[in-house]
Structure 1
Amino acid sequence: MGEIRDGARIGAWAVVGVLGLAVLYVVGAFAFGGAMWITAPFRGEVDKRENTVASGEFRQTTYEEFFDLCEAVQNAEGTIQVLQEERKAASETRTTQIDQSITALKATRIESVNDYNSKAAQEHRAPFHDKDLPYRLDVGAERTTCTN
């Protein structure tokens, strides 16, 4: 009888031990999983910043992108001016073609100005905006200067 009682006691301790380990595992999973869930927004922001702002390629590309956008605006303005000069001596058929081209170039210029201004306003791009470039470009301006 004593052996059965000792065996039952050992069995009960084994069951309690297994249940205790299971409870400990569940509590640990919730504790660490909860900590990861709570810090997810912070970790996500750090990862995003490290993958973009801290990237040398991103910084260089962004810096050059502002110059490219400003230059695109100036190129459209220059082409519009050349077409307007040509229009003065053009035939009626050519005048119609020139007017269509000017309209398309004005739309392209507006898109480039809006793209430039949108990117200049983005907080993560602002540090890479060259000091000699204007902060914003004016859609209504006839001529754009890409240096201050």
Structure 2
Amino acid sequence: MTVGQVREGARLAAWAVSGVIGLAVLYVIGVFAFGGAEWITAHFRGEADKRQNTVGSGEFRQATYEEFFDLCEAVQNAEGTIQALQEERVAASDTRTTQIDQSITALKAMRIESVNAYNSKAAQEHRAPFRDKDLPYRLDATAERTTCTN
């Protein structure tokens, strides 16, 4: 092999390496130019998509509106059942009194869970606008009776 051939081979190798490096640089630039812009704006696009899919959805609005009524009604149903059991307890036998007391305890716990669920959802910024204006902002877990309209 002559010195000229070695130089020619080195030159071709340098061009090949330069070409590979150039392609890699173009690839990185392309990723940042196209993928990078998506990555930078992902948060904003995700927030807009989430808002559109929930708050902007008619189904979400209707379901949330009905959910507030359902939760308030669950609290009132528990209160009504507690009241009926307390009235029955007056004339009940000892065995039945024990059963009634257990049922009342369970209903009180269920009522508190419903009150907490209602209050939690009412405090959520994306749900609060869909609570009916006649429903209370918060329910009181210590109240004897719950009113589902103002």
| Shared fold per TM-score greater than 0.5 | yes
Q: For the residues of structure 1 that align with 2:44 and 2:71, how far apart are their CA atoms? A: 33
Aligned to 2:67, what secondary structure does the other structure show? helix
**For residue 39 of structure 1, what is the aligned residue in structure 2?**
41
Q: 1:21 Cα shift?
A: 5.5
Identity %: 85
Match of residue 49 from structure 1:
51
The answer to whether residue 69 in structure 2 is matched with residue 91 in structure 1 is: no
Structure 1 unaligned spans of 5+: 1-10
Count of residues paired in the alignment: 140
Which residue of structure 1 aligns with residue 66 of structure 2? 64
> What amino acid is aligned across from residue 107 of structure 2 in structure 1?
L
What's the TM-score once normalised by structure 2's chain length?
Answer: 0.84
Kindly state the Cα deviation for residue 36 of structure 1 after the two structures are TM-superposed: 1.2
Q: Which residue of 2 aligns with 1:82?
A: 84
Question: Unmatched 5+ residue regions in structure 2?
Answer: 1-11
If the length of structure 1 is used for normalisation, what is the TM-score?
Answer: 0.85
- Measured in 2, the distance between the counterparts of 1:113 and 1:47 equals 31
Q: Could you tell me how far 1:134 is from its partner in structure 2? A: 0.1
Q: Which structure 1 residue ranges, 4+ long, deviate > 2 Å from structure 2?
A: 14-26
Question: Which whole-Å CA distance do the structure 2 matches of 1:57 and 1:44 have between them?
Answer: 20
Describe the superposition over 1:20-79 as per-residue Cα deviations: whole angstroms up to 9, x where unpaired.
Answer: 565333212112222111111111111111111111111000000000000000000000
3-state SS of paired residue (1:35) = helix
